[in-house]
């Protein structure tokens, strides 16, 4: 949660002194930092801001609750500075280094106002929220950018640096319409070890975490990048699944390059016939017939760089591995196909999981009352499909107010429309007649529910008969109806059976129109209307409140944690919604409110561990963990009280 920086005093002389300091009593789990400028992004390890001097500053994420994680974040930015040091000030294809603070590990670099090529050539809004005036991109611009990224990569290779993540999101466009290669936190040297998997459509065939970094890997990615520059589309953009893209690459099947001016060069990057950036550059110049690069660096050998800048700094060391959620899934699934992206490579990054960060450090939206902006009321992680309208609903639940009774404004004081525009990361203030305070409504801890026991047999069977597939992922249980083989599919309760008093308080028994069959008809919480069929892993996420379903948003699937399944923003389909046996909106709304309390309100609720190996002291571990008493109640009820009938 940011508080005002010293640079804002002149801009806002009327602000009280307390806005320039963190609150005296910081709630557990909250992390405050002094704002250095306008927020531009929130990466895995750093906060990215635009200073009043129009420089980009990367600040390692602080984490006083996990000093080991905090030091890893600092090491990432420190390693990026090492790359800038080695490159020196003479390369025109890299953003200029402005400043480095060795004490705080804050890195300041040149601001390139047109942002990444991924958004400039794409159709979506800029992630930073700063609008840019786009030109009508001409073939000469595309030729220029293809040459410049090739020369920039050549500059890195001349210093024995493998970029490893040269996607369009890491190529920045300046106001002079020249591009620079950026983001070296994931870079490594030849012969070390990879730290990241490149973007989902930029994974080189045969890639694995144990594969030593090679220039050839960067050249393959360069082919994908030039393809994007020349066409405005990512490779295999017509293929939805990243796993399928990786599989096509592994089979040597690449997008058609017919009609692309430098199609042969792109194909040479993909099939490995071009071995170096020198060869790629030469082939591009021959294909274009003209050098449209005004920066004028004809040689990729970096003879223009001072020798001292190359030798004065040690090579970047191997650091921890960071994967985008979709890349994790794509790489892991691809490993199952038997290719060299094999599961034996996974231990390279799995050991880092025992140093897990608090999931709330990924929050990139925060909100507070306009009267006390220094006191955060909540925060969330922006996931796919999160809109301004949904954000209003979430805030309303958090502060227990009607969404029509307050407004929201962004950090620039602009009113936020209650519409379906994508929610942007940032800080928001609640404007209302009365001060906004967190809701005091109860959060009900739950473990992973199951449908074991005779009491739940009819519930399980009725849910299976109605849905016959995971209603979230739409994956069909093909063997279930035919052979009664439902492995990996589970009947999930929307409102958990462990809280009969809450069921009665909400009057849910009066909402049920299809009671369980005799003799359990009074056990309304086990009505088919309180159930959904889900795949086992999805069921766990549902019970953990990682995602929920918002009826008011056309039954949209809203993720509150990073979405590894690629389903955030999708909707329940009409097959379920048109069925009279489906869960009523009141049940889904109850679950959604609980998800808000768990993930958004204040610092959020603690994450619970559900993995108890045989022989472990399960009850002891539960009782010692956060929310131990509440969770023990849940476990005892679901495990020992399943034979009891709820008398409504």
- Top-confidence residue, 612 or 498: 498
Q: Binning pLDDT at 50, 70 and 90, where does residue 608 land?
A: low
Residue 125's pLDDT is what? 54
Residue 110's pLDDT is what? 93
Which range, of 205-219, 262-276, 576-590, averages the lowest pLDDT? 205-219
Residue 523's pLDDT is what? 86
Closest CA to 295 of 134, 85, 150, 137: 150
Residue 610 has pLDDT above 80, yes or no: no
Which range, of 24-33, 141-150, 457-466, 588-597, averages the lowest pLDDT? 24-33
Q: Binning pLDDT at 50, 70 and 90, where does residue 360 land?
A: low
Q: Binning pLDDT at 50, 70 and 90, where does residue 130 land?
A: low
Same fold for the pair 2-110 and 133-329? no
User: Per residue in 503-534, pLDDT tens?
Assistant: 999 999 999 999 998 877 888 999 999 999 99
Distance CA 535, CA 540 (A): 9
User: Per residue in 323-337, pLDDT tens?
Assistant: 344 444 444 444 444
Residue 267's pLDDT is what? 95
Q: Phi/psi class of residue 190: alpha, beta or left (left: φ > 0; alpha: ψ in -120 to 50)? A: beta
Residue 457's pLDDT is what? 86
Residue 475's pLDDT is what? 93
Task: Name every residue whose Cβ is closer than 8 Å to that of residue 61 and which is 6 or more positions away in sequence.
Answer: 31, 45, 46, 47, 70, 73, 361
Pairing mode, strands 365-369 and 426-432: parallel
HSE of 62 in the Cβ direction (CA atoms, 13 Å)? 12
Residue 129's pLDDT is what? 55
User: Per residue in 377-410, pLDDT tens?
Assistant: 999 999 999 999 999 999 999 999 998 999 999 8
| DSSP assignments along 324-363, one per residue | -HHHHHHHHHHHTTTSSS-GGGGGGTGGGGGGPPPGGGG-
Tokens 């795949």 sit at which residue?
535
Which range, of 241-250, 351-360, 443-452, averages the lowest pLDDT? 351-360
φ and ψ at residue 492, rounded to 5 degrees: -100, 135
Share of the chain above pLDDT 70, in %: 78
Residue 618 has pLDDT above 60, yes or no: no
Residue 643's pLDDT is what? 40
Q: What is the CATH number of domain 2-110?
A: 3.30.200.20
Residue 613 has pLDDT above 70, yes or no: no
Tokens 């480095």 sit at which residue?
100
Q: Binning pLDDT at 50, 70 and 90, where does residue 576 land?
A: very high
Residue 347 has pLDDT above 70, yes or no: no
Q: What are the residue ranges spanned by the domains of the chain?
A: 2-110, 133-329, 454-640
User: Per residue in 79-108, pLDDT tens?
Assistant: 889 889 888 888 999 999 999 999 999 999
Residue 152's pLDDT is what? 93
Residue 353's pLDDT is what? 34
Task: Name every residue whose Cβ is closer than 8 Å to that of residue 175 and which is 6 or more positions away in sequence.
Answer: 112, 113, 114
Residue 447 has pLDDT above 90, yes or no: no
Helix, strand or coil, per DSSP, at residue 214? coil
Residue 358's pLDDT is what? 57
Q: Binning pLDDT at 50, 70 and 90, where does residue 364 land?
A: confident
Q: How many helices and strands, by DSSP H and E, does the chain display?
A: 18, 19
Average pLDDT value over all residues in the chain: 81
Distance CA 201, CA 243 (A): 9
Q: Is 76 exposed, middle or buried (0-12, 13-18, 19+ CB in 10 A)?
A: buried
Which range, of 47-51, 156-160, 560-564, 633-637, averages the lowest pLDDT? 633-637
Q: Any idea what DSSP says for residue 454?
A: G
Residue 326's pLDDT is what? 41
Residue 335's pLDDT is what? 40
Average pLDDT for residues 330-355, to the nearest whole number? 36
The CATH class that applies to domain 133-329 reads mainly alpha
Which range, of 277-286, 422-431, 570-579, 627-636, averages the lowest pLDDT? 627-636
- Top-confidence residue, 529 or 65: 529
Average pLDDT for residues 245-263, to the nearest whole number? 90
- Top-confidence residue, 55 or 250: 55
Average pLDDT for residues 64-83, to the nearest whole number? 87
Residue 189's pLDDT is what? 73
User: Per residue in 225-245, pLDDT tens?
Assistant: 999 999 999 999 888 776 788
């Amino acid at each position: 949660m940011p508080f005002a920086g010293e640079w804002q005093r002149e801009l806002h002389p009327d602000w009280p002194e307390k806005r320039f300091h963190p609150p005296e009593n910081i709630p557990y789990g909250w992390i405050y930092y002094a704002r250095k400028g306008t927020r531009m992004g929130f990466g895995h390890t750093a906060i990215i801001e635009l200073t009043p001097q129009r420089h980009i500053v990367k600040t390692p994420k602080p984490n006083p609750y996990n000093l080991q994680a905090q030091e890893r974040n600092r090491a990432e930015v420190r390693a990026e500075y090492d790359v800038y040091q080695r490159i020196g000030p003479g390369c025109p294809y890299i953003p200029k280094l402005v400043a480095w603070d060795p004490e705080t590990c804050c890195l300041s670099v040149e601001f390139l106002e047109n942002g990444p090529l991924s958004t400039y050539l794409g159709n979506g809004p800029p992630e930073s929220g700063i609008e840019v005036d786009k030109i009508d991109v001409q073939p000469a611009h595309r030729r220029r950018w293809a040459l410049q990224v090739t020369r920039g990569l050549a500059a890195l290779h001349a210093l024995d640096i493998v970029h490893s993540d040269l996607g369009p999101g890491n190529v920045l466009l300046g106001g002079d319409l020249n591009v620079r290669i950026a983001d070296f936190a994931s870079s490594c040297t030849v012969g070390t070890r990879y730290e990241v998997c490149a973007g989902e459509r930029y994974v080189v065939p045969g890639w694995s975490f144990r594969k030593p970094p090679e220039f050839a890997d960067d050249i393959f990615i360069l082919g994908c990048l030039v393809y994007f520059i020349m066409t405005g589309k990512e490779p295999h953009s017509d293929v939805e699944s990243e796993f399928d893209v990786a599989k096509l690459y592994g089979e040597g099947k690449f997008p058609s390059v017919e009609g692309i001016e430098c199609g042969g060069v792109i194909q040479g990057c993909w099939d490995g016939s071009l071995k170096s950036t020198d060869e790629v550059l030469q082939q591009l110049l021959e294909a274009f017939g003209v050098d449209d690069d005004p920066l004028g660096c004809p040689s990729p050998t970096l003879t223009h760089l001072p020798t001292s800048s190359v030798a004065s700094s040690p090579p970047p060391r191997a650091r921890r591995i960071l994967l985008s959620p979709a890349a994790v899934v794509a790489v892991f699934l691809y490993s199952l196909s038997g290719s060299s992206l094999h599961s034996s490579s996974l231990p390279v990054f799995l050991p880092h999981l025992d140093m897990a960060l608090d999931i709330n450090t990924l929050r990139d939206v925060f909100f507070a009352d306009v009267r006390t902006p220094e006191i955060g009321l909540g925060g969330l992680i922006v996931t796919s499909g999160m809109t301004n309208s949904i954000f209003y609903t979430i805030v309303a639940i958090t502060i227990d107010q009607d969404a029509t009774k307050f407004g929201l404004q962004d950090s620039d004081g602009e009113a936020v429309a209650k519409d379906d525009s994508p929610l942007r990361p940032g800080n928001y203030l609640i404007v209302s007649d009365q001060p906004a305070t967190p809701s005091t409504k109860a959060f009900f801890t739950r473990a992973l529910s199951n449908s074991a026991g005779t009491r739940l047999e009819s519930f399980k069977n009725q849910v299976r008969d109605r849905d016959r597939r995971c209603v979230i992922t739409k994956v069909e249980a093909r063997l279930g109806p035919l052979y009664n083989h439902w492995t990996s599919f589970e009947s999930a309760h929307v409102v958990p059976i462990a809280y009969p008093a809450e069921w009665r308080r909400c009057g849910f028994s009066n909402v049920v129109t299809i009671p369980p069959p005799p003799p359990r008809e009074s056990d309304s919480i086990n009505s088919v209307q309180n159930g959904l069929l889900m795949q086992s892993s999805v069921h766990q996420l549902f019970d953990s409140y990682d995602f929920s379903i918002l009826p008011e948003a056309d039954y949209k699937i809203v993720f509150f944690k990073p979405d590894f399944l690629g389903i955030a923003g999708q909707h329940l389909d009409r097959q379920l919604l048109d069925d009279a046996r489906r869960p009523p909106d009141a049940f889904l709304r109850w679950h959604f409110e609980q998800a808000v309390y768990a993930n958004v309100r204040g610092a959020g609720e603690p994450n619970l561990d559900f993995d108890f190996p045989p022989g472990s002291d399960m009850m002891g571990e539960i009782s010692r963990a956060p929310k131990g008493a509440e969770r023990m109640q849940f476990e005892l009820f679901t495990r020992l009280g399943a034979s009891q009938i709820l008398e409504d």
